[in-house]
Structure 1
Amino acid sequence: MAHIDLGVDETQHPGINGPMMYRPETAKPLNELAEVLLRSEPHPLSRGERELIAAYVSGRNDCDFCCTSHSAFAAAQLAEGMALVKEVRTDIETAAITPKLRALLHIAGAVQRSGREVTPALVEAARTEGATDLEIHDTVLIAAAFCMFNRYVDGLGTLFVDDPVRFAHAATQIAEHGYLR
């Protein structure tokens, strides 16, 4: 049960869905931000890679709803699927990802702890692996935005319903239609 009355059946609208329905006027810009960060094209990072950054940060923040949902969204858009997502969430050092994505995940992890932990050395390491300024910028913004989204979900104490079928359906919807439904 959420800390406030969201005016919805939380079992039908768990996680961020309840708060988004409670305040549609704030949901609109939040969904627009997610759409731009995670789905805009053209972009040098794939949609799956950007969702993977969101899932990684959400996992580090212990936000079950966001981690589970964005893990599913990433898996639906990565050729390697959930196996790769689990590798990344377990250990980015041994995960079968490119050195560039690993360097960007190091930046995302630094942002998750504190934006001030993003050092010139981390940025230079990402550049050395081929990351562009756009990729570095968007990695920082995805990580920062997901710290906010995670705190929004958990700060309101929203319900987490661990339903793989529901997350698989949501992943298909996000992959096909995005966040502006």
Structure 2
Amino acid sequence: MAHIALDNDLPGISGLMAHRKDTGEPLNHLAEILLRGPSPISRGERELIAAYVSQLNATPFCAGSHSAFAAAQLAGGERLVASVLADPATAPITPLLRALLRIAAEVQSAAAPVSDEAVAAARAEGAGDTEIHDTVLIAAAFCLYNRYVSGLATTVPDADYYRGSAERIVARGYRGSYSEA
């Protein structure tokens, strides 16, 4: 049960955003830009970064949601996502994505500059300024989203919820998604 009384029965961040539409709308807009807007990183890979950071932050709702959203958009689906969450070093992903996940993990672990080594490793795999920027911002934003969800002890749904949400998000995006969950 959430730490605050919600005026809906939606799980996770969906319930919080529906409860406070004034704050939910800009948070959803940010997610739309970060995860679906223009970027050299694919939508599925950006969702995977969000899922990975959420997993590192031990936030089951966000890890489950963004894992489903990533799986729906990446070749390899759920199996690929599970392998990345288990160990990105051995997962069957590109060296560039592996390097970006390393950057995301550094952002998640401390409010400090990403190491020169992690940036150099990403650049060696072909990352430009935009890939590095987008990875850092996604990781930082998901630290905020994860703390919002976990801090208020929101409910965690079953796996079927995530699959239904993935269909909606992939088809229509984040804007207003909490009102339809």
- TM-based fold match above 0.5: yes
Q: TM-score, normalised by structure 2?
A: 0.95
Matched residues in 2 for 1:90 and 1:14: separation? 25
Match of 2:31 among 30, 34, 55: 34
Offset at residue 177 of structure 1 (A) = 0.2
Cα deviations by residue, 1:106-145 (Å, 9 ceiling, x for unpaired): 0000000013151111111100100111010010000000
Measured on the aligned residues, the alpha-carbon RMSD in Å equals: 0.9
Q: Which residue in the other structure is 2:96 paired with? A: 100
Overall identity of the aligned pairs, in %: 59
Residue 113, structure 1, aligned to residue 123, structure 2: no
Matched residues in 1 for 2:32 and 2:131: separation? 16
Q: Which residue in the other structure is 1:154 paired with? A: 150
1:19 partner letter: L
Residue 20, structure 1, aligned to residue 17, structure 2: yes
Structure 2, unaligned runs of 5 or more: 177-181
Matched residues in 2 for 1:172 and 1:129: separation? 32
1:30 partner letter: L
Q: Which residue in the other structure is 1:70 paired with? A: 66
Q: Which residue in the other structure is 1:48 paired with? A: 44
Q: TM-score, normalised by structure 1?
A: 0.95
Q: Which residue in the other structure is 2:179 paired with? A: none
Q: Which residue in the other structure is 1:170 paired with? A: 165
Structure 1, unaligned runs of 5 or more: none
Cα deviations by residue, 1:64-94 (Å, 9 ceiling, x for unpaired): 0000010000000001101110010000110
**Large movers: runs of 4+ above 4 Å:** none
2:36 partner letter: R
Matched residues in 2 for 1:126 and 1:115: separation? 19
Offset at residue 22 of structure 1 (A) = 1.4
Cα deviations by residue, 1:11-35 (Å, 9 ceiling, x for unpaired): xx00011110111011111001000
Q: Which residue in the other structure is 2:5 paired with? A: 5
Q: Which residue in the other structure is 1:130 paired with? A: 126
